[in-house]
C-alpha cells in the first residue's frame, strides 16, 4: 500500500471531512483513504511545553508506528511544510522506529517500509539512517541471548562489524590477559566455560590526542557466587549495555567519517559461578599495585572498568568516558529513563546534561561525595569493591572507579543500568541508550573538555 505523508499545522490545511475531527495537537495523525494513494496527515503544531528537539524524533516514531500498523509499505513525504520540520531529527526517529529483533523467530510476518523524500532532504535522510543503524546495532547486541553472544563470539562479531571501516579491532584473548595485566577481567571471567577477552577498537583519522571510551561488556551476569535472585534475571543478558553503546557510537563515528581519535576498550566476560569462579574475600592486585578485596562477586562491573581505566592511562590517555550497567541502585535514584553521570570535574558533569538533551539519552549529574568512600574500606586490601552501607550504591560504585583515576586525568562515568530497556515499555527490549550520547560527546569534545 502507498501513501503520501503531509504535514499540517492548522485545521484549514486538512480535507474538509477531517477538519472537525482535528484539535491541531502535536503528533495528531489522520489517514484519508483513496483508491489509488492514501494521504497521511501529521500535525506538527507544538505547544509551549513541546519545544524540545527530541519531540521531532517522537513525531518520526509516531509516523513510522502508524505506517507499519496500517500495513503501508511505500511512503512519500509531501514537500509542503517540510522546511518547518526539524527533518534530521524527525527522520532519525522514523528510522529508529523501524526495528524488530526477530532473527530467532521461525515465522516473520513483516514488510519493509520504503520512504521517499523531496530531493533537498535526501542527504539528510542518509545521515539519519546512519544514526538509526548505529542505535540498532547497540539494541541488537543487548537483545542477543547469552548462549548466542558470549565473549569470543562477541569479539568475532566486532571484527566483522568493523571490517572495511577505519576502525581497527584488536582482541586480547583469554590466554594473554595476565601477560597484558588485565587481572580483574581474567578473574571475573574464570568461572565460566566461555573465556573472557578484551576488545580494543581504534578510530584514528585526526592527529589529536586520543579520548578513551570504556564500555562494560559482561555478556551475562548471574552475580557469580553472590547469585542474583528474582524473576528478572533474564535481563542480565543486557549487562553489556555499556559496551553496546560504545560500539554503536564507534560505528556512527566511522560511518559519518568523523575526524577524531578514539580508543575504545571493552572488557568482556561472563560472570557466573563455577568450579574456578572467584569468591568473596579474594584479593585482586591491579597493574598499578592497588589491591582490592572482593566484597561481592556481583559487583564485577567496577572491577573490569578499573582494569580498562588503568590500561588507558598506561597508554597515556588523559581524557576518558566509561559507561556501564553498574548498579541497580541508580534506578531507585533516577527511575528508568535517566542515567547517572559522575565526574572528577564538576564542570564536566553539568555540561553533560545539555548533551544528553541533544542526543535524546537523558542524563543527570550526581555527586561524588568523598565522605562515602569510607564505606569501601577493607581490613585486608587497599579498598573493597562493595560498600558496607545500604545506601548510595551508585555513588560508592563511582567512587570505587575514581580510585583508579590518576591526578590530571579528566574522567566521566555513566551508570546506565536503569536505562538499558525501552522506556516506558514493560517488555524485555533494549533501548540502545548511550550510542547517540557518546557520539555527541566525541563530536563536541573540544567544547566538552575545554576548561
Q: Which residues of 120-131 are buried (b: 16+ CB within 10 A; e: fewer)?
A: ebeebbeebbbb
**149 and 93, same structural domain?**
no
Is 187 inside any structural domain? yes
- CATH number for the domain harbouring residue 49: 3.40.220.10
pLDDT the model gives residue 228: 93
Is 48 inside any structural domain? yes
**76 and 186, same structural domain?**
no
Is 380 inside any structural domain? yes
C-alpha cell at 352: 553533560
- CATH number for the domain harbouring residue 254: 3.40.630.10
Question: Is 198:266 a contact under the CB 8 Å cutoff?
Answer: yes
pLDDT the model gives residue 426: 76
Which of 48, 82, 98 lies at the terminal end of a domain, its last residue?
98
pLDDT the model gives residue 450: 87
pLDDT the model gives residue 48: 56
User: What is the four-CA torsion angle of 423, 145, 312, 438, rounded to 10 degrees?
Assistant: -30
Active site residue 302: yes
Catalytic residue among 302, 351, 410, 436: 302
Is 148 inside any structural domain? yes
Beta bridge partners of 168: 202
**191 and 89, same structural domain?**
no
Residue 278: burial class (beta carbons within 10 Å; 0-12, 13-18, 19+): buried
Is 346 inside any structural domain? yes
Distances in Å between the Cα of 396 and the Cα atoms of 235, 297, 336 are 23, 16, 20
Is 104 inside any structural domain? no
**161 and 93, same structural domain?**
no
Structural domain for 14, as ranges: 2-98
Question: Is 40:4 a contact under the CB 8 Å cutoff?
Answer: yes
Catalytic residue among 228, 287, 354, 358: 228
pLDDT the model gives residue 425: 81
- For the chain, the domain total comes to 2
**154 and 77, same structural domain?**
no
Which of 44, 78, 98 lies at the terminal end of a domain, its last residue?
98
Is 105 inside any structural domain? no
**187 and 38, same structural domain?**
no
Q: How far apart (Å, rounded) are the C-alpha atoms in residues 304 and 67?
A: 44
**188 and 85, same structural domain?**
no
Q: How far apart are the first and last CA of the chain?
A: 55
**221 and 172, same structural domain?**
yes
Which of 38, 71, 98 lies at the terminal end of a domain, its last residue?
98
**264 and 215, same structural domain?**
yes
Is 65 inside any structural domain? yes
**53 and 167, same structural domain?**
no
The closest of 329, 323, 292 to 404, measured between CA atoms, is 292
Active site residue 110: no
pLDDT the model gives residue 391: 95
Q: What is the pTM of this model?
A: 0.96
Q: How far apart (Å, rounded) are the C-alpha atoms in residues 137 and 165?
A: 15
**257 and 196, same structural domain?**
yes
DSSP 8-state class, residue 103: T
pLDDT the model gives residue 5: 97
**187 and 90, same structural domain?**
no
Per-residue pLDDT of the chain (451 residues; tens, 9 = 90+): 899 999 999 999 999 999 999 999 999 999 999 888 999 999 998 755 655 678 999 999 999 999 999 999 999 999 999 999 999 999 999 999 999 999 999 988 778 999 999 999 989 999 999 999 999 999 999 999 999 999 999 999 999 999 999 999 999 999 999 999 999 999 999 999 999 999 999 999 999 999 999 999 999 999 999 999 877 798 999 999 999 999 999 999 999 999 999 999 999 999 999 999 999 999 999 999 999 999 999 999 999 999 999 999 999 999 999 999 999 999 999 999 999 999 999 999 889 999 999 999 999 999 999 999 999 999 999 999 999 999 999 999 999 999 999 999 999 999 999 999 999 887 889 999 999 999 999 999 999 998 7
Amino acid at each position: 500500500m502507498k501513501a503520501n505523508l503531509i504535514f499540517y499545522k492548522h485545521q484549514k490545511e486538512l480535507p474538509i471531512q477531517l477538519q472537525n475531527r482535528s484539535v491541531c495537537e502535536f503528533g495528531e495523525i489522520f489517514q484519508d483513504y483513496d483508491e489509488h494513494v492514501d494521504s497521511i496527515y501529521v500535525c506538527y503544531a507544538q505547544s509551549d511545553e513541546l519545544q524540545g528537539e527530541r519531540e521531532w524524533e517522537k513525531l518520526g516514531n509516531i509516523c513510522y508506528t502508524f505506517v507499519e500498523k496500517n500495513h503501508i509499505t511505500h511512503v512519500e513525504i509531501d514537500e509542503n511544510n517540510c522546511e518547518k520540520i526539524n527533518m534530521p531529527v524527525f527522520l532519525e526517529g522514523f528510522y529508529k522506529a523501524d526495528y524488530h529483533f526477530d532473527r530467532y523467530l521461525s515465522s516473520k510476518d513483516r514488510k519493509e517500509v520504503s520512504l521517499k523524500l523531496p530531493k533537498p532532504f535526501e542527504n539528510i535522510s542518509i545521515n539519519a539512517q546512519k544514526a538509526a543503524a548505529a542505535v540498532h546495532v547497540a539494541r541488537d547486541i543487548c537483545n542477543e541471548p547469552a548462549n548466542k553472544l558470549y565473549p569470543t563470539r562477541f569479539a568475532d562479531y566486532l571484527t566483522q562489524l568493523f571490517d572495511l571501516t577505519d576502525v581497527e579491532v584488536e582482541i586480547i584473548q583469554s590466554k594473554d590477559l595476565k601477560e597484558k595485566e588485565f587481572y580483574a577481567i581474567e578473574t571475573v571471567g574464570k568461572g565460566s566455560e566461555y573465556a573472557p577477552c578484551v576488545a580494543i577498537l581504534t578510530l584514528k583519522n585526526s592527529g589529536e590526542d586520543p579520548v578513551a571510551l570504556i564500555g562494560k561488556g559482561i555478556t551475562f551476569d548471574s552475580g557469580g557466587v553472590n547469585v542474583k535472585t528474582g524473576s528478572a534475571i533474564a535481563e542480565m543478558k543486557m549487562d553489556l549495555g555499556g559496551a553496546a553503546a560504545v560500539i554503536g557510537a564507534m560505528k556512527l563515528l566511522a560511518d559519518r567519517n568523523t575526524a577524531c581519535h578514539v580508543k575504545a576498550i571493552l572488557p568482556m566476560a561472563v560472570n557466573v559461578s563455577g568450579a574456578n569462579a572467584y569468591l568473596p574475600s579474594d584479593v585482586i592486585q591491579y597493574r598499578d599495585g592497588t589491591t582490592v578485596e572482593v566484597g561481592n562477586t556481583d559487583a564485577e562491573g567496577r572491577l573490569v572498568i578499573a582494569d580498562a581505566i588503568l590500561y588507558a592511562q598506561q597508554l597515556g590517555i588523559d581524557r576518558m568516558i566509561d559507561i556501564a550497567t553498574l548498579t541497580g541502585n541508580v534506578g531507585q535514584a533516577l527511575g528508568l529513563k535517566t542515567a547517572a553521570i559522575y565526574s572528577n570535574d564538576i564542570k564536566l558533569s553539568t555540561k553533560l546534561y545539555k548533551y544528553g538533551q541533544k542526543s535524546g539519552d537523558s542524563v543527570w549529574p550526581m555527586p561524588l561525595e568523598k565522605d562515602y568512600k569510607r564505606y569501601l574500606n577493607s581490613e585486608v586490601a587497599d579498598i573493597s569493591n562493595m560498600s558496607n552501607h545500604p545506601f548510595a550504591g551508585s555513588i560508592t560504585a563511582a567512587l570505587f572507579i575514581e580510585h583508579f583515576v590518576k591526578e590530571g586525568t579528566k574522567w566521566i562515568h555513566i551508570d546506565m543500568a536503569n536505562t538499558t530497556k525501552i522506556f516506558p515499555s514493560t517488555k524485555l527490549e533494549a533501548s540502545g541508550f548511550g550510542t547517540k550520547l557518546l557520539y555527541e560527546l566525541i563530536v563536541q569534545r573540544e567544547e566538552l573538555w575545554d576548561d
